[in-house]
Amino acid sequence: MLLIAALVLGAGLLIYSQTVAFTGDEGFHLLAAQLIDDGKRPYIDFCFPQTPLNAYWNAAWMRVFGQTWRVPHAVSTVLVMAAVLLAAHFVFTRLPEAQNWRVGAALAVMLSIGLNPMVVEYGPLAQAYAICLFLLVAAFRLTIAAADSASVWPALGVGFCAGAAAASSLLSATAAPVFLLWLLIYNRSGSRWLKAAAYFLGGAIPFLPVVWLLKQSPRVVIFNLFEYHLFFRTLYWPKTTQHDLEVVTSWIDSGQALLLILLAAAGLLFIRFRSQWEARLRKEFYLCAWLTAAIGLEVCTAHPTFPRYFLLMVPFVAVPASVGLYFAGVSLYRPGRPFWPVAILAFLLALGLGKSLYQRWNDVRTWADHEKMAKKVDEVAPRNAPIFADEEIYFLTRRIPPPGFEFSYSHKLNLAAPLMAQLHIVSQAQVNRMAAAGKFAAAATCDDDAADEMELPSLYEHKTDVDDCAVYWGKVTVKK
């Protein structure tokens, strides 16, 4: 039953990933992977304010199967479903009650993750959410295994998974010390200090590309990984504090989030005060609460933060939520009869997902829209001519962006000229001057503000609209 449910959820997620899955920031990640596949180095050759492992991961898969967005989407779908199965298997093997409820609780975990709107909408993308989900859940399982093992290998695996998650996205970084602390405190076999050493060794391995790049240009790497996030992310998001408060409290308006939170709280209270489970088992479920708190704290303090960041917490809320559903089922319904409690949960989760996808349907562009734009650009602009475009268009047309155009948000920065050159950043004022001087054979963008500031409608004779985006070509004049 669990495998059938996984196949159904996975098939649905795969279909979504290959049709309408898209977000506006995804093109930046795909373009970075494409540039890496072409031999360029993140930070050193182009601005890339992210840890690089996910970009290298996408580049590797695209090198094998082709430079198309469909490849990372399919790989991300597999990673999401692997995380779902790992979390569900944990509950299936741990719930020390009636066999029927083991299946029911495991199915509840699968549904809680696989039907979560943020997981469905952002998991099967080229961004780092899928790989972080998988690595965090894998690290969770390995941490529990490492506590009972006299060998240091599981501890090394924990460190590697936690380090690889952070090397894919720093949004998952706070989970790493939680895994280490839990392992040291609740270690039951072997030397905890040897395990700590193995953990640090495993955690260092995924950061070897960063060390390699850091040796080549420390100033550039430090800016991309730390300074940009600490001081410059707010430039492209006005009223950041108000925005963050709205995002952090948005769970109040989400029926699905409220349901999971209430079930998880009930599950933890049951484990703590009503269950007769042995202490070691209760502590394994408490680890989920620790991880939820650590990841949640980091996500809440990201400036600005966004609802999709919270999807990294979903597996660690879903696990105790399944226990809460079990507690509610045996208390309010019938022990050993999980069908109706799980069916009601599935109905509510599916309803919430359907509503979210319906609201998103008319508000978000898809890769099909950008493929139309890319086709038009290839029709009107010579292959070797520079163009101004969003990252998605550079990726789809396989055109190397002009230097400094690899990351569009960087145009909002205004630093000292030598530093801007070193960081491969071009300011918006420079972009405007280049457009006015006729440097671009065509322009393709979905950013209305940028188009207006560059005065694109007055610079080109022709314009084709695609959804709420536009392609401009045929220069009419060169401004001096």
> Alpha carbon of 113 to those of 89, 256, 313, 422, 430: distances in Å?
13, 11, 10, 43, 45
- Average pLDDT (210-231) is 95
Cα 424 versus chain centre, distance: 25
Q: Which CB contacts under 8 angstroms, 24+ apart, belong to 213-219?
A: 213/41, 213/42, 213/43, 213/44, 213/52, 216/41, 216/44, 217/43, 217/44, 217/422, 219/422
Residue-level pLDDT at 99: 62
Q: What pLDDT digit, counting tens, does each position of 138-149 carry?
A: 999 999 999 999
Q: What pLDDT digit, counting tens, does each position of 356-385 carry?
A: 999 888 777 899 999 999 999 999 999 999
Q: Is 362 helix (H, G, I), strand (E, B) or coil?
A: coil
CA distance 342 to 326: 9
Cα 82 versus chain centre, distance: 15
Quickly state the pLDDT bin for 195 (edges 50, 70, 90): very high
CA distance 404 to 52: 18
Contacts of residue 319, Cβ cutoff 8 Å, sequence gap at least 6: 87, 90, 91, 109, 285, 288
- Average pLDDT (107-129) is 97
Residue-level pLDDT at 312: 97
Question: 442 - beta bridge partners?
Answer: 473
Residue-level pLDDT at 480: 45
Q: What pLDDT digit, counting tens, does each position of 163-176 carry?
A: 999 999 999 999 99
Cβ density class 251-274: b for 16+ within 10 Å, e for less: eeebebbebbbebbebbbebbeee
The CA-to-CA distance between both ends of the chain, in Å, stands at 70
Residue-level pLDDT at 154: 97
Residues, the chain: 480
Residue-level pLDDT at 240: 87
pLDDT at 304 over 60: yes
CA distance 262 to 110: 17
Q: What is the pTM of this model?
A: 0.96
- Average pLDDT (248-264) is 93
pLDDT, the chain, mean: 94
Closest CA relative to residue 402, chosen from 426, 382, 379: 426
Report the range of poorest mean pLDDT among 117-126, 152-161, 317-326, 335-344: 335-344
